[in-house]
Amino acid sequence: MIVTLKQILNKANKGNYAVGAFNINNMEIAQAIIRAAAAQKAPVILQTSEGAIAYAGMEYLRCIAYQAAKEKVPVALHLDHGRDLELVKKCIKAGWTGIMYDGSHLPFDENVKNTKKVAQWAHAKGMGVEAELGTIGGAEEKIVARQIIYTDPDAAEEFAKKTKCDALAIAIGTSHGAYKFEGAPRLDLHLLKTIKERLQMPIVLHGASGVPAWLVTQAARYGAQLGKPEGVPDEQIATAVSYGVNKINTDTDLRLAFDAAVRKFLTEKPEDFDPRHILAPARDLIQQIVEHRIKLFGSSGKA
Ligand code: G3H
Ligand code: 13P
Ligand code: ZN
């Protein structure tokens, strides 16, 4: 059933677990995620980036997500890293049930001003808003932030009070994409604990993909050239959940699974050109990855 981000995150905050927020760009990815959530009896957040909306179209993604939400688990449809205020308005109007306004690239006061405005629009419709303070590293299609600026706890408290946001994405050393660390993974989990103790509100971790070595090996075996990718180890995610993270974003792991499965199929069956045969193994592998992460986040059985 379709529910709001706020409902999902308030329950997770009370129950001390995290809900997976997975990026969708097409039907197969959405199906993989909802099958995983249904198998694990877990709430789930389907999120669309501005790039996903530009690629697939708003109405296609809305229909796919609402169809997925017919499963008997709570599903929120969330805008990921919304920066374009016109698009934010359109998503609120079109039936998205959660909005992330990302003003992390703006000076503090401007971020406050815009986030507050978006929170007012969303609250008027009974929806919650996720905001971001500090900068998460790495690159997405439309967002590049090379330098990580860790979230300051005093600023986070002031920001949450002034904006009335419902969830806060913080920067503790994670990066978007497959290349998160050079050398050992370094996350400031102590900073996360401090911020959670002071704010008590749902906290969000972006750039949290695990980049499993076996998946990278499979993709590489069938021709992918990925260099030296590095993700956040499962143990650090488990600690982050125990310190109060309630929403964990994952996209890169789904991309890797898609790539690994499609490459394997095309290599092993060069004579088969049926898109359904090509995409079904990718859907299955993404489901496997999502189920693993749902268990890691502690949201299995919380539907
Ligand atoms: O952080 C967000 C996701 O990985 C989305 O990436 O903007 O390329 O769709 P995208
Ligand atoms: P990853 O690139 O680590 O999967 O992070 C995705 C994300 O934060 C989407 O907002
Ligand atoms: Zn993100």
Nearest ligand to the CA atom of 257: 2
Q: Do 39 and 295 touch, CB atoms closer than 8 A?
A: no
Helices (H), 21-169: 27-39, 50-56, 58-68, 85-94, 108-124, 153-163
Confidence band for 142, pLDDT divided at 50, 70 and 90: low
Q: Is the CB of 144 under 6 A from ligand 1?
A: no
Confidence band for 232, pLDDT divided at 50, 70 and 90: very high
Radius of gyration of the chain (CA): 18
DSSP 8-state code for residue 137: B
CA 273 to ligand 3 centroid distance, Å: 34
Q: Is the CB of 171 under 6 A from ligand 2?
A: no
- pLDDT tens for residues 39-74? 999 999 999 999 999 999 999 999 999 999 999 999
Q: Is the CB of 210 under 6 A from ligand 2?
A: no
Give the pLDDT score at 183: 81
CA 80 to ligand 3 centroid distance, Å: 7
- Average pLDDT along the chain: 96
Give the pLDDT score at 140: 58
Mutate to test the pocket of ligand 1, among 22, 46, 49, 50 (most ligand atoms within 8 A of CB): 49
- Whether 160 shows a pLDDT value over 60: the answer reads yes
For 134-156, give one letter per residue: b (16+ CB within 10 A) or e. Answer: bbbbbebeebebeebeebbbeeb
